[in-house]
């Protein structure tokens, strides 16, 4: 079985052509070309005007004015690009994203309230979490659909890492639906969190009468990663080791999802980068295979460095 995400990953969507790639040098060149054409036309009407023969000198007043004008044009075009991004769900951020998703009746949820005693500010859904619920909200009218169950689950527990809906095609039981959930970092959901999600997905307006819905904790498949990395002499080995650890941790976190898979080649390959000669893997000994009820969790990551003479 291979892992299939439950919603479209819009972070991989390319920006539309409406967002302009701005070349400042070209803007300045266009200004100077337009000035030259305009100045030549004026000289035809007024022969007393001198020829413009200092093109390219940094001290030329025309170039100085052109640079100032180019900067203002650059800011204008950046503003237009930002305005386009603010209107598109995959590219909007912060309050812009709040405005985009509000059209579907979706609002950013509170994950943890502020604590005045410890001077801790309130924590709200991240942009990625809010965008995920927005995408799932299009299935809200379909009671009993996987998208509806997921939307209700994430709305009930905004801090949840991942959820998956397994039906007959997965477990073979007619009329049964399993909603599998995992907490931040792949941890087990607490009894209270489990009860909160269960109440949300079994509400009468969410689950049809003919469907039995169970909410289950994802089983954790914990593994360690132990790598020996050969690096050349010269570069700071500690810096290289930190970069390797960051890449590998990002690769394992990306697969910390219910039904996720942790292939050995993916783990080893993530370690390669600048100033890495060779990577030898001690752990894990076998890949973590995809299972619709299991979340793979990398618990310990060890990177050993071997500096080559």
Question: What residues does 301 pair with on adjacent strands?
Answer: 225
d(CA 2, CA 102): 34
User: CA 114, 119, 120: angle at the middle one, nearest 5?
Assistant: 45
Q: What is the pLDDT of residue 55?
A: 65
How do the domains of the chain map onto residue ranges? 24-87, 96-217, 221-308
| pLDDT surpasses 80 at 142 | yes
| pLDDT surpasses 60 at 306 | yes
pLDDT interval class at 309 (50, 70, 90)? confident
CA dist list (Å): 165 to 83, 148, 161, 204: 37, 10, 14, 18
Q: What is the pLDDT of residue 2?
A: 43
| pLDDT surpasses 60 at 136 | yes
Of 6-15, 60-69, 88-97, 168-177, minimum mean pLDDT range? 6-15
Mean pLDDT over 152-162 rounds to 96
Contact indicator for 197, 207 with CB cutoff of 8 Å? no
Q: What is the pLDDT of residue 195?
A: 98
Residues of the chain above pLDDT 90, percent: 84
| pLDDT surpasses 70 at 230 | yes
pLDDT interval class at 56 (50, 70, 90)? low
Mean pLDDT over 36-51 rounds to 90
| pLDDT surpasses 90 at 170 | yes
Q: What is the pLDDT of residue 54?
A: 73
Contact indicator for 298, 256 with CB cutoff of 8 Å? yes
State pLDDT tens for residues 72-131.
999 999 999 999 999 999 999 999 999 999 999 999 999 999 999 999 999 999 999 999
Mean pLDDT over 162-186 rounds to 95
d(CA 243, CA 230): 13
């Amino acid at each position: 079985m291979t892992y299939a995400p439950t919603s479209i990953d819009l972070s991989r969507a390319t920006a539309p052509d409406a967002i302009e790639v701005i070349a400042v040098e070209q803007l300045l060149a266009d200004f100077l070309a337009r000035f030259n054409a305009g100045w030549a036309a004026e000289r035809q009407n007024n022969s007393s005007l001198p020829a413009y023969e200092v093109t390219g000198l940094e001290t030329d007043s025309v170039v100085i004015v052109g640079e100032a004008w180019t900067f203002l044009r650059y800011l204008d075009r950046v503003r237009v690009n930002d305005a386009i991004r603010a209107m598109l769900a995959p590219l909007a951020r912060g309050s812009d994203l709040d405005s985009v998703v509000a059209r579907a009746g979706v609002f950013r949820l509170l994950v943890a309230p502020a604590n005045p005693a410890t001077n801790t500010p309130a924590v709200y859904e991240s942009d990625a979490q809010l965008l995920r619920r927005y995408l799932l909200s299009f299935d809200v009218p379909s009671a009993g659909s996987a998208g509806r169950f997921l939307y209700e689950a994430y709305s009930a527990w905004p801090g949840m890492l991942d959820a998956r809906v397994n039906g007959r095609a997965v477990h073979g039981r007619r009329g049964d639906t399993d909603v599998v959930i995992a907490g931040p970092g792949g941890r087990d959901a607490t009894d209270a969190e489990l009860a909160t999600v269960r109440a949300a997905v079994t509400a009468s307006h969410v689950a049809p009468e003919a469907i039995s819905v169970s909410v289950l904790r994802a089983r954790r498949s914990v593994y360690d990663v132990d790598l020996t990395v050969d690096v050349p002499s010269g570069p700071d080995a500690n810096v290289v080791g930190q970069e390797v650890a960051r890449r590998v941790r990002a690769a394992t976190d990306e697969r910390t999802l219910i039904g996720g898979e942790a292939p050995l080649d993916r783990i080893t390959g993530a370690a390669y980068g600048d100033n890495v000669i060779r990577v030898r893997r001690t752990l894990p000994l076998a890949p973590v295979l995809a299972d619709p009820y299991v979340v793979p969790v990398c618990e310990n990551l060890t990177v050993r460095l071997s500096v080559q003479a």
